[in-house]
Chain A
Amino acid sequence: MFNTKTILATLAVLAGLAGVSSVQAAEDVVHVEKQSWSFAGIFGTYDQNQLQRGFQVFREVCSSCHGARLIAFRTLAEEGGPSFSEEQVKALAAEYEVADAAADGGVRPAVAADLWPSPFASEQDARDANGGALPPDFSVLAKARGVHDAFPFWMFNYFTGYSEGGPDYIHALLNGYEEEAPEGFELPEGKYYNHVFPGHAIGMAPPLADGQITYTVEEGQMAVPETLEQYSTDVSAFMMWMAEPHLAGRKQTGFVVLLFLIVFAGLMYGTKRKIWAGIEH
C-alpha cells in the first residue's frame, strides 16, 4: 500500500492543495491562489525592476486615495528596495507638499527625509470622497492581510516560513472583481462585487485595467506586459516592500546566523560528548 508511487502521488496532491489557500469570509471560504514571489523563501530578495514598476502603479493610481504615511521618500533610494538614485528621489519629493509650521503658509515642498504626505486633509475628507469608506494606508497593509490555510497546511508554513499571505491576498483581490454580482446576491448601491473581499461588497471601484499604465522599457530589457495581472503583481510586491523594506538584509543575515548556529551546535555537541566520554549515563 505504501509503495513509492502512492507516496509520491499523495505528496503531489498535497502540494497542489497547498498552492490554493483560503480567505475566511463568514460562512463561505474563498480560495486565494498563491503566487510565486521573488522575495519568498530563505533567499528571497526584491526584484528592483518590479518594485520600480510597482511604485509607478502606486503613484499613478493608488496614491490619489491611499496614503503611505510611514514611508519616507529617502527609503526609495535604499538598497534592497526600488533603489532609485538620490537625485531621482530628491526630484520626486519636491513634487509633493508637506505641512511645516515653520514654512510660509504652513506648507513647503517635501525633501527626501520627509514622509509621504496623505492624499486627504483629514479622515473625514477621505471618507467623504470614497462613499463613507476609508481607504486604508498602504504602509503596512501587506502585513495586515493574510490568507487562511486549512490544517495541516498552516503547519507546513512554519517550516517554509510562508510570509507572503498579504501580497497573495492583495493580488487576488485586485484580480477578483466581477462585472456582475452573481444571481441572488444583493449588491448595495455604490459597491462593487469582488469574490475575494470578505462579504464580497467592496467600496473601491476596480482600480486597474489592461493598458492603464505605460511601463517605460530600458534599452535591451524585455517588454513587460501592460496587463491587470502584471500591474497587480507589481503593486503587491511594492506594497510588501513598503511593509518590509529590510526583508533582503534580514534574510541574508538570517542565513549566516543559522549556518553559524548549526556549525556551533555541532561543535558544542562534540565538546559535550568529549566531556561526558567515559561517564555512564
Chain B
Amino acid sequence: MSEHSTYTPGSGVEKWLDERLPIIRFSKEHLMDFPTPKNLNYFWTFGAILVMCLGIQIVTGIILAMHYTPNIGLAFDSVEHIRRNVNGGRMIQAFHAVGASMFFVAVYIHIFRGMYFGSYKAPREILWILGVLIFVLMMATAFMGYVLPWGQMSGWAATVITNIFEAIPVLGTPLLELLRGGFSVGNPTLNRFFSLHYLLPFVIAAVVALHIWALHVPGNNNPTGVDVKDSRDTLPFHPYYTMKDAFGMVLFMIPFVWFAFFAPDILGHPDNYIQFNSQITPAHIVPEWYFLPFYAILRAIDFNLLFINSKLLGVIFFGGSIVILFLLPWLDTSKVRSGNFRPMFKWFYWLFVVNFIGLTYLGAQPADGIYVLLSKICTAYYFIHFIVILPVLSRIEKPRPLPTSISESVLAKSHA
C-alpha cells in the first residue's frame, strides 16, 4: 500500500528537479519512507541480497567480457588468459563463477521463503509470477554462461540441453538447428550464447524492477501472513531495513568470499578444465548443482505414455515442473498465508523441501540402480505436492487462530 508522499523539496534545485523528473520524491517514497512490516525475519533480507548478487554478476561479467573471446578456438585460452595475465583476473573470474552459485543459493532460499509464508497468495500473484519469470531467466543466463569457457562440461551441457528441443514433434529438428546455428554445438552456438548471456541480465534487471514495483503495491508480506492494519504495524524502510539488509548482505558475503578465495573450483567440475571435444563424451555429464533437481526430473521419465515417447514425456515433465510454479497461487487457495499457522501444511512443506534436496542429490547420480526408482518417487511427489496436496489442504485444513494484527503478535512474542 503506497502512502501519499510526504516529501517536500528542500532547495530550489530540488524543486526544479521534482517538477521535471521526481526521482528524489520517488526514491524517498520507495527506498526510505516505505512502510515495511516491523516483524520481518532474516529470510526477508534475501531480496536485497539477490539485488547485490545481480549487481556483482553484471559488474564482474562486463569486466570479463573485456578480455574474453567467444570463438571456439580461443575461448578456453582466453579464460585462462584472464586467470593468469589480467590484473586481478583470477579474483574477478572466481567471483563471477562462484557468484552464479551464490545467486542460486539466495534465490532458492528466497523462493522457499515465499512458499512457506504464502507470499504468492492474493494480492501478490503477479509478484510471484514475475519472480518465477526471473528464476527462469536466471536459469537461461546461467546455462549459457557455463558454455562460454568451452570446456567438456560446457559443450556437452549445451549439446544435451539443446537436444531437449528436438523432442518437440514436427518442429523439433528445425528448431534445434535454428538454436544451434548448425547441426551440432559449434562456433555459431558459442557466439550467440555470448551475446544473449550479456543481454539477459539486463532483461532480468528490468523484470526485477517490475517485481519490486509489484511488491510495493500491496507492500511486503510478513511471517504471520496477516495484513498490515495501520502504521503501528510498520517501520520506515530506512534506516531499519536498509541497515538490516546491509548486514544480511555482509553476512552473505562471508561464505561467498570463502568459496571465491579458498575453493573457487569446488562447485564446478574438473572436466571443464578439458577443452570441449565433440568426439569424447565425459563419463558423467553433470549440470551445475542448481540445475540438478530439474535434471533429475528430466531423466526420471524413461517410459512411454500412449503415443508420447519417453524423450518427449521427459521434456514435458521437465518444463511442467517449472510451469507448475507459475500456477501456485491458484493451486493453494487457503485463505491463511503463513505456514506458522497451518500445522498440516507445515509438514508437507518440509517434506517438499526434503524431496527437493533429494532430487538435487539424484540429479548428480548415474541413471542406474536404485537411483532410477528414487528419482521417479521424488518426481512423483514434486507434482503431487502441487496438484493434489496443496489444493486438498486448502479445503480440509483447520488453521491455528491468527493474531489480529502484526503489532499484536509482536507484543505477544515479546511478553511471552
Contact = CB atoms under 8 A, between A and B. Distances in A.
The reply, when asked whether chain A contacts chain B directly with Cβ atoms under 8 A, is: yes
A135 to B, nearest CB: 13
A250 B90 contact: yes
Contacts of A158: 259, 263, 266
A161 B263 contact: yes
Contacts of B259: 158
B246 interface: yes
A258 B261 contact: yes
A162 interface: yes
Contacts of B264: 163
A228 interface: no
Interface in A60-116: 70, 75
B84 A70 contact: yes
Contacts of B410: 280-281
B191 to A, nearest CB: 23
Contacts of A264: 250
How many of chain B's residues touch chain A, expressed as a range? 35 or more
Mostly, the B contact residues are helix
B84 A75 contact: yes
Interface residues of A, number: 43
Contacts, number: 101
Interface string B243-275: 110110011011001111111111000110110
A261 B254 CA distance: 6
A201 interface: no
B261 A254 contact: yes
Contacts of B247: 265, 268-269, 271-272
B221 to A, nearest CB: 16
B337 interface: no
Contact of A280 (B38, B91, B94): B38
B89 to A, nearest CB: 9
A143 interface: yes
B265 A246 contact: no
A234 B67 CA distance: 33
B239 interface: yes
Given A262-B254, A265-B254, 6 more contacts: A70-B77, A75-B84, A162-B266, A275-B243, A276-B244, A280-B411
Interface of B: 38-39, 77, 80, 83-84, 90-91, 94, 235, 239-240, 243-244, 246-247, 250-251, 253-254, 257-266, 270-271, 273-274, 283-284, 407, 410-411, 414
